[in-house]
A and B are shown apart, each in its own frame.
Chain A
Amino acid sequence: MKRYRLEIRVTPRPGILDPQGKAIHHALHSLGWTGVDDVRVGKAIHLEIEAESEEAARAEATTMCEKLLANPVTEDFEIDRVEADATDSGDSKSDDQGPDDQGSDDQGSEDAEQG
């Protein structure tokens, strides 16, 4: 198991009124930024989870979004970033390949020949 950091972005769906975005839009205009056409306000959720792989971490986060983190009626979600936590293990200098990769490869081919 590895530790992954994820960034999830939850935003109001297009067409859903975003009163916060509207208020900030007004505020920006009154401060002189009249070129601002639209403002949408969402939220960023940062997760740290243990998972077998990046794909597994992403899949798990997607389920979390569907079940709890976003409301499908009013919000969209996107998983912006998934990265392995480099501070997690002492092995962080070596790459993903395990030390016994070669041995298992050889065994695998032997088995195939016998079969």
Chain B
Amino acid sequence: MRVAVVTFPGSNCDYDLYQAVKQVGGNPEFRWHRDRGLDGIDAVMLSGGFSYGDYLRAGAIARFSPIMEDVVPFAEAGRPVVGVCNGFQVLCEAGLLPGALIRNESLRFQSEDCRMRVERTDTPFTNRYEEGQVIRVPLAHAEGNYRADDETLARLEGENLVLFRYVDADGEATPASNPNGSTANIAGILNERGNVMGMMPHPERAMESLLGSTDGVPLFESLVASLAGRAGADVAGAGR
């Protein structure tokens, strides 16, 4: 499984993503923001950090990077695209995911572990979790406060497109368990087609028990499993 990890000027979680993909048996490769071409790539990941210094708005300028001219049609073709933290912000700015991420309600850069509930397991990103499972993953951001208009929020909830929600230890989405003021405790969402996913917390920083949590591992395993399954199906189809 070939996964392109995109590095923008100011990205700082690209090596973590690279390592996480490698750890679960995938084949990661870097793409610089000026690179072009995603031929033979099975999935794209946009990493966290501060692309272009977060100037203007987080993700606003990265969205116009040359590599994004390939990422957008890749996503529109139904191939898997993941954005973590700044990557989520870039996907929203690029219009691949609805809504926007504004300044945390606290006005502070929040850097802490959070708990998230996995709302769906029938996706390429979460099939190795259990539905309703509460996972612990670090977050680190100043603009993670998810906002969308009422119509979009109704659609997200109605079509079950909220993938992760901030919760307390009991799995309840309470105001106290919401680290940034996000509407409806939203931590991660899917697009309608189910192939583009963005999340603020960092699963790639929860890959080693030595570092506090391994709850991010199933996310990367899910992606590898779903891509392997699809490749297998293709091969079987060609054989007949």
Contacts and interface: CB of A to CB of B under 8 A. Distances in A.
A74 B100 contact: yes
Contact of A74 (B98, B102, B105, B181): B102
Given A16-B102, A16-B147, A73-B149, A68 B107 contact: no
Chain B facing A: main interface SS:
loop
A23 B107 contact: yes
A17 B181 contact: yes
A73 B148 contact: yes
Contact of A17 (B57, B92, B145, B149): B145
B56 A68 contact: yes
B102 A69 contact: no
B99 interface: yes
Nearest to B105: A19
A20 B56 contact: no
Nearest to B103: A19
Contacts of A74: 100, 102, 147
Interface residues of B, number: 21
B8 to A, nearest CB: 16
Interface in A11-52: 12, 16-17, 19-20, 23
A69 B106 CA distance: 25
Contacts of B32: none
B104 A73 contact: no
A68 B59 CA distance: 11
Nearest to A68: B60
Contacts of B92: 73
Interface residues of A, number: 11
A64 to B, nearest CB: 11
B204 interface: no
A62 interface: no
Contacts of A69: 56
A74 B145 CA distance: 11
Contact of B105 (A12, A16, A17, A68): A17
Contact of A73 (B61, B107, B147, B181): B147
B64 interface: yes
Contacts of B104: 19
A17 B103 CA distance: 9
Contact of B102 (A17, A23, A68): A17
B93 interface: yes
A16 B93 CA distance: 17
B93 A71 contact: yes
B5 to A, nearest CB: 25
Contacts of A68: 56, 60-61, 64
A16 B99 CA distance: 12
Interface in B118-149: 145, 147-149
A21 to B, nearest CB: 10
A26 B57 CA distance: 24
A3 B64 CA distance: 26
5 contacts: A16-B147, A17-B181, A71-B57, A73-B98, A73-B149
Given A19-B105, A23-B107, 12 more contacts: A17-B147, A17-B181, A19-B103, A19-B104, A19-B106, A19-B145, A20-B107, A68-B60, A68-B61, A71-B60, A71-B93, A73-B98
Interface of B: 56-57, 60-61, 64, 92-93, 98-100, 102-107, 145, 147-149, 181
